[in-house]
Structure 1
């Protein structure tokens, strides 16, 4: 992968935008075996699950019920129970863990790794009353729902106006802030985008961070070079490996971005400080990767 060295962080050796294909499309696999698995197993399972999935997704879209969302993740997608942990608190200390649970008035900085992230935010919050804020490369914030976050993750540009002020959020919704501005492959935390000076979080919110780790790692989606929405859903419904999100929550007295970045580093996400490995760098990586003159 030396031809992609321009998008490899020199300090950590990590290439944060390098995608990992799903097993069914990996070139080194036995194609005959893969085709048999596809036509004899995966497609029949998909045909059974897909209509049920459409019904449940429609119900969730109408009601916003996290109970329905939990059924989708556990029974259809095959995720383990989605739980979270806090340093120094045992899993048996339920009441203490509950005190860290996202609540209205929280501003939570999270890493951004997949189109599922927004729905995970809803599940661990126990409510659909969440807002997801993402900066563009100029530092202007835009608001997303779990649904529109899927489109953002897949690179669809939406005609939105940037948020002008933040005070309307602190009493109505739980706010998740994705300061990387774009997805990575869950090996690192990208440089945080510097926000426009008009945004102030001081004294407005309770500050927390959430570290997301998704397994298997081919469900992380740093780019959509080899994956469409349909392919991603197909694999969610037919992949046999146990899937789970590992979630860690931290609480802070103030919005100290250096301390917040350390919370990700403590959970095996390398800190990338190279400003070239951000939104613009990702666009250049994709253009280079898709250059048909390059032999992959």
Structure 2
């Protein structure tokens, strides 16, 4: 195992790319597991084909499509979903709808399994996107592609840059849409939060960004390694039940205040106008009021393209990352997409 030590985070010793082993089971349960798999896999395949090939293209009500998506989630045994929202007591969620993602907001979700996208689609019906480590723009994708992305090998650069768009521009296309972003850019086993893509920095400063963490018990239905479609389907369908734990943090904004999106006279609410006491901390980037919102200076886009982030940009990404780590009861790690690409090469060679 020494050759895998380089894929453990040095500070925490967490290995976010290792597949989670399946809990041992008695041989007496094998026939039952086989029956579960045969019945559920057949029904799951029929529902999946029916939805993605027919139902999603028909002019049916959103409630009907959501029912089909919930059926796809329930057939494999994901029957228990524990949802908690920061700042909302249990049983009071109906009176705190502003704490949930709504039209015109962004979801920054953890990424561990194809079920992540399926659950978000069943609840929020968002526009899914794919993020890349070296660009602030995202690629709009379908729900089906978002699910397949969980099995896809990681990549540093987009295959077609003409399809990239900023989050702010994507919001302008459909102001009533919820946008789902997977800022880690690739899947993990749920035991750590990877460094983020800078794509969240292209969001409008007044748009709410909701960190959403999804965890599973047992955690062996995560897909940190590309491929393995049949083994994942077996693990998903052969066990009697699975449980999902969903946590939603309070909204974060892509601006200095982080937790406020209202601007008055060019200065965010709660932030005093006048001199900035920390103006010398980041001399390469300045912020200036223009109209009713903060606009970055002309020099910052050049620096951003070169991979240099301002102190405020790093603060936004750190805030979302810390919220996801807190919600998932895990820690942030220093391993990213490049390290996973190298891990997949070593792991595939071992399998061969």
Q: TM-score w.r.t. structure 1 length?
A: 0.82
Instruction: Please point out which of 258, 279, 284 is paired with 2:337.
Output: 279
Instruction: Please point out which of 177, 180, 199 is paired with 1:173.
Output: 177
Q: TM-score w.r.t. structure 2 length?
A: 0.70
- CA deviation digits over 1:172-214, x for unaligned, max 9? 4211111111011111100112349xx7212362221111112
Classify 1:144/1:82 alpha carbon distance in 2 versus 1 (closer, same or farther; 3 Å): farther
Aligned to 1:96: 95
Is 1:262 the counterpart of 2:322 in the alignment? Answer: yes
Give the 4+ runs in structure 1 shifted more than 4 A: 156-161
Is 1:153 the counterpart of 2:150 in the alignment? Answer: yes
**Displacement, 1:67?**
0.9
2:113 and 2:351 map into 1 onto residues whose CA distance is 29
2:176 and 2:253 map into 1 onto residues whose CA distance is 20
2:351 and 2:219 map into 1 onto residues whose CA distance is 28
Classify 1:182/1:78 alpha carbon distance in 2 versus 1 (closer, same or farther; 3 Å): same
Is 1:63 the counterpart of 2:55 in the alignment? Answer: yes
The CA RMSD measured in Å over matched residues stands at 2.7
Classify 1:279/1:148 alpha carbon distance in 2 versus 1 (closer, same or farther; 3 Å): same
Do the aligned residues in 2 keep the contact of 1:114 with 1:220 (CA within 8 Å)? yes
Aligned to 2:43: 52
2:91 and 2:176 map into 1 onto residues whose CA distance is 31
Do the aligned residues in 2 keep the contact of 1:86 with 1:97 (CA within 8 Å)? no
Do the aligned residues in 2 keep the contact of 1:118 with 1:145 (CA within 8 Å)? no
Classify 1:41/1:193 alpha carbon distance in 2 versus 1 (closer, same or farther; 3 Å): same
Q: Unpaired runs of 5+ in structure 2?
A: 57-64, 255-315
1:90 and 1:220 map into 2 onto residues whose CA distance is 29
1:81 and 1:123 map into 2 onto residues whose CA distance is 15
Aligned to 2:127: 131
Classify 1:204/1:168 alpha carbon distance in 2 versus 1 (closer, same or farther; 3 Å): farther
SS in 1 for 2:139: strand
Larger Rg: 2
1:86 and 1:266 map into 2 onto residues whose CA distance is 13
Do the aligned residues in 2 keep the contact of 1:134 with 1:178 (CA within 8 Å)? yes
Correspondence 1:234-249 to 2 at 5 A: 234-240=234-240, 242-249=241-248
- CA deviation digits over 1:95-120, x for unaligned, max 9? 23433232221111111111111111
Is 1:229 the counterpart of 2:229 in the alignment? Answer: yes
Do the aligned residues in 2 keep the contact of 1:78 with 1:243 (CA within 8 Å)? yes
1:137 and 1:113 map into 2 onto residues whose CA distance is 17
**Displacement, 1:47?**
2.5
1:71 and 1:293 map into 2 onto residues whose CA distance is 35
Do the aligned residues in 1 keep the contact of 2:36 with 2:239 (CA within 8 Å)? no
Aligned length in residues: 273
More RCO (CA 8 Å, sep 6+)? 1
